[in-house]
Chain A
Amino acid sequence: MRQTGDKEQQFLGILDRYKDVVSKVCWLYAGQGATFDDLYQETCINIWQGMESFRGEARMSTWIYRTAINTCISWHRRNRRYSDTSSIDSLEFEPVSEDKAPAMTEEHRELHRLISMLGPVDKALITLWLDEKSYEEIALIVGMSQANVAVKLHRIKERLSKLADSGR
């Protein structure tokens, strides 16, 4: 019983420390059939489930990013809202409206709209770039070589610039 209580406190501590990471990743993947609440809750459950297997081999932040991103990608795949990530036109932007999600300004909406047009892995890469993670850490989280991270990020940034220009 005490062990459960300790785990609960440890879990709340992790959520408190990484709430920005978890909520921002969930916010970015919300829409397209999934709500912020759904993703946030599922990510929290997965953090709880993974706590026992976390042995500190990776940094805690790396582990949290992996858990949040994998949960969000997996959720979308299950709901089959993206079967063709190459077609921008096939994706519909659904604004996030949950009150627990980060508060949004017009700029945030535009950020969400642009990133919603990317495929699931590209979305993960740009999220990590936006959070100013090094290529080394991005490579560790995503499981790609640093060279591939650089190539992919370069293309994503080019694509985002074009999308932003075309939206003006």
Chain B
Amino acid sequence: MDLDELRNSWKSLGTDSDALEPVNRRIASELAKGRAVNAQQKLARNYSRSGLAGIVVVLLAPVLVMILKLPAIYACIYGVFGVIMGLLNYRFSLQISKADYITLPVVEAMKSILSLRRDWIRLHIAGYTMGVIVLLTLLYGLLDLGSDAVAGFYVGLAASIPLVYFKERQNLRLIRSMQQEIRSCIEPDKA
């Protein structure tokens, strides 16, 4: 198949209007009723919910004192962690909902998504850093509670490390491939 044949093949590709019309009507009706949302809105909602999860962390902080009988300072550290993560996630959800990566020119849209992805990584790094500090502090407190609590802590930690590692490695690979793609559009001679 040469390029002319390719183009002719493309031109002969026909749309089945009869099949698409009811689909269009259904989508229009759902959208008019506010029932359909796009992926960007779903993602923004997810981060908004993660922001709410920060409140749950704050509400759970007193449990450390009341049930586990840890000193109040642990509850404070845990609560502050919840507030900061909640606010960061909520801020990120606003950033996603305001971003326009659909109607911009393709390369600009990719840059916009790349910038969001970088902020996303920063959010994760902030979360992991604070999470590790909170966990180590909690571990220090749990040492007094006996070996079962400490063992449970280590099991949780061991299970989450590989998950975090693979997830973040995937994210970084994706960012690198996007950077490469953008570079190849701006400087095709160097790509």
A: residues with CB less than 8 A from B are 4-5, 7-8, 11-12, 15-16, 19-20, 23-24, 27, 40-42, 44-46, 48-50, 53-54, 63, 66-67, 69-71, 73-75, 77-78, 80, 82-85, 99-100, 102-105, 107-108, 110-111, 114, 119-121, 124, 130-132, 140-144, 148, 151-152, 155, 157, 160-161, 164, 167
Contacts and interface: CB of A to CB of B under 8 A. Distances in A.
Contacts of A102: 13-16
A82 B176 CA distance: 12
A50 B40 CA distance: 12
A44 B167 CA distance: 31
Given A50-B102, A141-B106, A148-B185, A108 B23 contact: no
Contact of A11 (B17, B31, B110): B31
Interface in B90-147: 100-110, 113
B177 A143 contact: no
Nearest to B37: A45
Contacts of B185: 121, 142-144, 148, 152
Contact of B9 (A23, A48, A63, A108): A108
Interface centre among B14, B16, B38 (most CB of A within 10 A): B38
Contacts of B29: 8
B155 interface: no
Interface of A is mostly: helix
Contact of A143 (B105, B113, B170): B105
Interface residues of B, number: 53
Interface of B: 1-3, 5-7, 9-17, 19-20, 23-25, 27-29, 31-32, 36-39, 100-110, 113, 170, 173-174, 177-178, 181, 184-189
Given A70-B109, A75-B39, A144-B185, A107 B5 contact: yes
Contacts of B5: 107
